[in-house]
Amino acid sequence: MKVDQVLDAKGLACPMPIVKTKKAMNNLEAGQILEVQTTDKGAKSDLTAWTKSTGHTMLDSKEEDSVYTFYIQKG
């Protein structure tokens, strides 16, 4: 997967991961992919719901050593 931008939101509490994701997405073109790294557990359901409601696509996500990584493609 070709990631166009990486957002480090580690250590940030809700709602900052989603606020920062939103800002980062604004600077991307449709079809480009953003990688979001967060340590906030709640981010998983929040980001999933948010991508769904905004027309973006959650391509993949993973958890490694308490870091959650999400790959979101701009819609």
Partner 1 sequence: MTVKLISTQEIAKKVLNHEDVFILDVRNTDAFDEWKMEGRNVKVMNAPFSKLTEEDALLDKLPKDKEIYTICAKGNSSKRAAEYLEEKGFKYVYSVEGGMKAWSEYLEPIKVGDLIGGGSIYQFVRLGKGCLSYLIESEGNGAVIDTNRMLETYEQFAEEHGIRITHLLDTHLHADHISGGRALAEKLGGTYYLPPNDAEDLNFDYSPIQDGDIIYVGSSMIKAVYSPGHTIGSTSFIIDDQYLLTGDILFIDSIGRPDLAGKAGDWVGDLRETLYERYKELKGELLVLPAHFMGINEMKDNGSISEKLNVLYKQNHGLNIHEEEEFRKTVSENLPPQPNSYEEIRQINMGKLMTDLEQQREMETGPNRCAVR
Which spans of this chain sit near partner 1 (rule: CB under 8 A)?
13-15, 18-19, 22, 41-42, 45-46, 48-50, 53
Examine the residue annotation and report whether 12 is marked as an active-site residue of this protein.
no
34, two tokens: 């953003």
Output 35 or 40, the one with its CB closest to partner 1: 40
Output 2 or 26, the one with its CB closest to partner 1: 26
Give the residue from 40, 42, 30 showing the smallest Cα distance to 72. 30
* 59 close to 52: Cβ distance less than 8 angstroms: no
Q: Quote the least distance from Cβ 59 to partner 1, whole Å.
A: 19
* 23 close to 36: Cβ distance less than 8 angstroms: no
